[in-house]
Structure 1
Amino acid sequence: MADLHIQINRDRGGIAGQIAAELRESIRGGRLTPGTRLPATRDLAIDLQVSRGVVVEAYEQLVAEGFLVSRVGVGTQVTPKAAARPVIRASPRPEPARPGAPACAPYYGHRPTSPDLSHFPRERWLAAVRHVLTTVPSEALDYGDPGGVPELREELAGYLRRVRAADVRPENLVIVGGVAQGLSLVLHVLSRQRPLRLAVEDPTSHRQAPLLRRAGAHLVPVPVDEEGLDVRRLSGDAVLVTPAHQYPTGVVLSPPRRAALMEWAYAGDRTILEDDYDAEFRFDRDPVGCLQGLAPDRVILSGSVSKAMAPGLRLGWVAAPPDLAEAVRRARGELDLGSPVIDQYALAHFLRTGGYDKHLRRMRREYRRRRDALVRALAEELPEIRVKGIEAGLHVYLELPDGWAELKTTRAAQELGLSTEPVGPMRDSPGLAAVVVGFARLPAHKAVEAVRGLKVRMSGQNVD
């Protein structure tokens, strides 16, 4: 039975009418949904400190109006046809708009890199949480190591060695609340001694720049071409890269560039920050190991379960050289004492029992199917668009034909439900008009319809 929030004014009289009006408005507004079981008249009368007869009168009035139904043995419930207005659900607060940028896509995903959350492994995750709650000792629920529970660091170290070819031990891992927090902590530590000049890819995610600056970094854009970051043009004390699948272009850092980046780091005692944001999702290529496995004393690896499972879990990790890992661990302790332990134990169990690997294999097949459907629809309906970055990840990079404006294309795509962003605001230097489109939340059977809709909307509207 539902607890009810009912306000009555005893000075006004008509208590039964007030109760009926409050319940009626709650049903119409969606606060009481169809099928909700109301308290027994005796219980509600005690809660409101009124006579039972007053509550009975209010219920009978709403039954007569069709808002409630009362059955022997079942009690009083909101009738399935009671809600006169649609249920109002809270919407995510929109981000502040960038100058000249369109609103974010509402339907197939807020960001082009968003996973399909309808495929979150609820039953297996619930089983993992249940296992934790029935097996871990009570002491494990106390304030723990701000670097993360040992069981999760042990499982993650094995996973990263096995899947990402990382060179990492549990003591070099720090559990954080996602890649964003991991990068913030690392930059906070690196910039303590002197201002940090951080090289970043150009183009790069516009959402990262404020975070990086707030953490104390001065950003130095470095161009990205068909082989990834142009290492010859690097400058600064450190560099942040997405080598497995550059965002937004989707380029993979080539082997020669990887070697050159290692030389750059060792020659100047510099640090490489590696964002391994969606490396598990590869489709048309062999696995690409992380940079950290090549130079564990120079590279700091950041990753999370945000793309593999759900951003809302807020579970990520930082793998760093021993001294830096310890400094990041202390910084985490100073910030908020560490991540929630139950979720950490649950993820450790999920990894240990193979649930994580099984989920990834399933989603890799599904995302490939959706990517293939989108790429095929683009080739058939809009062959003038150049499609890039499709070998991995959850998004494609579309270079637009002459006359197509990024913002108009983005708006048109978003109106069709496609999760799309213009590349222009991500650039420091000029480049070809392009947009990023996510496919993880685009059902395969909807791809042709969406692309055809884009074709119709953009015909005759390609003037900036």
Structure 2
Amino acid sequence: MTEDWSSTSANHAPRALDLHLDVGALGPGRRQAGLEHALRTAVREGRLGPGSALPSTRALARELGLARGTVTAAYDQLVAEGLLLTRPGAATTVAELPPTVSAFAAAARPAPPVLHDLGPGTPDGSAFPTRAWLTATRRVLARARPADFGPGDPQGRPELRAALAAQLGRTRGVLTTPDQVVITSGFYQSIGLLAEVLRASGVTELAAEDPGHRTYREVVARAGLRVLPVPVDGDGARVETLTASAVLLTPSHQYPTGVPLHPDRRRALASWARRTDGLVIEDDYDGEFRHDRRPVGAFQALAPDRTAYCGSASKTLGPALRLGWLALPPHLVRPVVEAKERADLYTETLGQLVLAELIDTHAYDRHVRAARLRYRRRRLLLHRLLDRHPDFTPHGVPAGLHTLATTDREEAALLARCAELGIALSGLTELHHDPAAAPGRPGGLLIGFAATSDHGFERALHALDEALAS
């Protein structure tokens, strides 16, 4: 059984401490290692604080039913590791650990379990088109040549570039050719490559929406560019405030507010790009998912020579594929391909061929249509729940994989309550360029409705209802 024993701290009364040591389950040769692990864990987790006195080797051996030599050897090992201290004539005590050790141990503790995934931006993994992917994989492998298993092209497989050029033109209105498409390992890499190329060309600043995706701002900053905020209101990014020579936007479905860029602002953005020779980086992260009408076409069609269009399979199929793409103005293709070659030579090849097969056989389109119907139903269920909580205001058009609900209630307390109930979601404040300037701005929750199965989503809504009612 698991044994409990008492330790007496130099500054505290005796307290019971569970060593989590099942002596009966340990073989004779493993008892010392088991005791060492139990003591080491108790020290690092803080259950045995600095200065705490341990029982004598004789007393602990008697309580745990171990040989005294086993306990002595375990103590000696932890003394050698610097976790325990021994002094002649005194009890063995826990050493004072450096602050970094304690902080690392605290960070290493397992996070509370996620029971309900309502995080934004992740598709339903249970709905991955496994059968269609397997069928496409068999076809690709059946006709593969030996060269297909060798090094790839930094720009990407021509089969996928051709399939994407046709598919993006048909479904998103993108004006491009296979020669202008570059395959990447996801949007994260796409924005990093573009930032590197811009920096090399002399650009020093890039504007990005406020609020917006924090991770991508960090990628741009690491490339050496200063990131300037572009305020967002009910009509999308306020493009009239642009002062940088490049801007990163989500025109079809602004992240996180969910509003599309107003047509007047689209035209103004295209005029700005041509007038200033500026570059628009369009993140079309979930442009396929409009739930009340046909998706709004990509901005790129208004200024194809001044727009770098970015897409990926992470929202339609899954982020595990690590497949993204850029439709670039002609003058950026060569610099981006060279940056890609420096980064990782090329994106994995077989996945590119399988995705091209999915697109060419229209299995990809069928999957997106089915996912769109499923997510539309879930969004309706989520908004019905929000209707029961009038202190939450949903924002955005019926689109994408998440809803932003703002509130005057304390955001941090809401997030803490959700975490207590095992709900994973995001807050609005952290997405602002300066979260510390949040006073006066409403807080909010970004609630995803795509990440779980249908049955899991129903359970997640029940838990969310409880959290919002707290």
TM-score range, shorter chain: 0.7 to 0.9
Distance of aligned partners of 1:452 and 1:355 in 2 relative to their CA distance in 1, 3 Å threshold:
same
Cα separation, 2, equivalents of 1:321 and 1:196: 20
Residue pairs, 1:87-126, within 5 angstroms: 106-109=114-117, 111-126=119-134
> Aligned AA for 2:272?
W
Query: What SS does structure 2 have at the residue aligned with 1:297?
Result: helix
CA RMSD in angstroms comes to 2.4
Deviation digits for residues 95-150 of structure 1, max 9, x if unmatched? x9xxxxxx798344384111111111112112211211111111122112110010
Q: What corresponds to 1:179 in structure 2?
A: 187
Question: Which is worse superposed, 323-332 or 170-179?
Answer: 323-332
Q: What letter is aligned with 1:405?
A: E
- Paired position in structure 2 for 1:316: 324
Cα drift, residue 339 of structure 1:
0.7
Equivalent position of 1:87 in the other structure: none
User: Are residues 188 and 310 of structure 1, via their aligned partners in 2, closer, same or farther at CA, if it must alter by over 3 Å?
Assistant: same
TM-score by length of 2: 0.73
Output the amino acid matched with 2:465.
R
Query: Equivalents in 2 of 1:456, 1:261: separation in Å?
Result: 42
Gaps of 5+ in 2: 1-25, 35-103, 105-110
Question: Partner of 2:326: helix, strand, or coil?
Answer: strand
2:462 maps to amino acid: E
Opposite residue 393 of structure 2, the aligned amino acid is R
Instruction: Give the Å deviation of 1:256.
Output: 0.3
Aligned to 1:449: 462
Matched residue SS, 2:446: strand
Shift of 1:291: 1.1
Are 1:195 and 1:218, in contact at CA under 8 Å, matched by a contact in 2?
no
Shift in Å, 1:420: 1.6
Say yes or no: does 1:419 pair with 2:412.
Answer: no
CA contact (8 A) 2:414 2:468 kept: no
- CA distance 1:251–1:350, change in 2 (3 Å): same
Moved more, 284-293 or 238-247: 284-293
CA contact (8 A) 1:105 1:420 kept: no
Q: Does 1:382 align with 2:389?
A: yes
Cα deviation, residue 432, structure 1 = 1.5
TM-score, with structure 1 as normaliser: 0.74
Q: Which has the larger radius of gyration?
A: 2
Local SS of the residue matching 1:370: helix
Q: Which residue of 1 aligns with 2:256?
A: 248
Secondary structure of the corresponding residue to residue 333 of structure 1: helix
Whichever residue aligns with residue 386 of structure 1, its letter is: T
Q: What is the distance in 2 between the residues matched to 1:307 and 1:104?
A: 26
Distance 2:116 2:465 in 1: 17
CA displacement at 1:417 relative to structure 2:
4.2
Distance 1:114 1:105 in 2: 18
- Cα 1:240/1:105, change in 2 over 3 Å: farther
* CA–CA separation in structure 2 for the residues paired with 1:107 and 1:316: 30
Residues in 1 aligned to 2:216 and 2:356: alpha-carbon distance in whole angstroms: 28
Tell whether the 8 Å contact from 2:248 to 2:281 is kept in structure 1 after alignment: yes
Distance 1:448 1:193 in 2: 49
Q: Which residue of 1 aligns with 2:442?
A: 432
Contact 1:112 1:437 in 2 (8 A): yes
* Separation in structure 1 between the aligned mates of residue 237 and residue 113 of structure 2, nearest angstrom: 29
Once the two structures are TM-superposed, the CA of residue 304 in structure 1 deviates from its matched residue by 0.2
- Higher helix proportion (structure 1 or 2): 2
Is contact 1:109–1:419 with CA below 8 Å preserved after alignment? yes
Q: Partner letter of residue 431 of structure 2? A: M
Q: How many residues align?
A: 360
1:195 Cα offset (Å): 4.1
Q: Give the corresponding residue for 1:398.
A: 405
Matched, 1:363 2:371: yes
Deviation at 1:456, TM superposition (A): 3.3
**C-alpha separation in 1, matches of 2:164 and 2:113:** 34
Spell out, residue by residue over 1:157-203, the C-alpha distance to the aligned partner (whole angstroms, 9 max, x if none).
Answer: 00000000000100000000001101100111111032421011000
Higher deviation after alignment, 274-283 or 321-330: 321-330
Q: Structure 1 residues 419, 393: closer, same or farther in 2, change over 3 A?
A: farther
3-state SS of paired residue (1:207): helix
Quick one: distance in 2 between partners of 1:314 and 1:110? 22
1:409 aligned residue (408, 411, 414): 414
Alpha-carbon distance in structure 2 between the residues aligned to 1:110 and 1:447: 7
Confirm or deny: 8 A CA contact 1:173 1:317 kept in the other structure: yes
Q: Extract unaligned runs of 5+ from structure 1.
A: 1-16, 26-95, 97-102, 458-464
What letter corresponds to residue 224 of structure 1 in structure 2?
A: V
> C-alpha displacement at 1:268, in angstroms?
0.8
Report the CA distance between 1:421 and its aligned residue.
Answer: 1.1
Deviation at 1:323, TM superposition (A): 2.0
Determine what percentage of the aligned residue pairs are the same residue.
40
* Pairing 1:225–2:233 present: yes
Q: 1:132 aligns with which of 140, 158, 173?
A: 140
Deviation at 1:436, TM superposition (A): 0.9
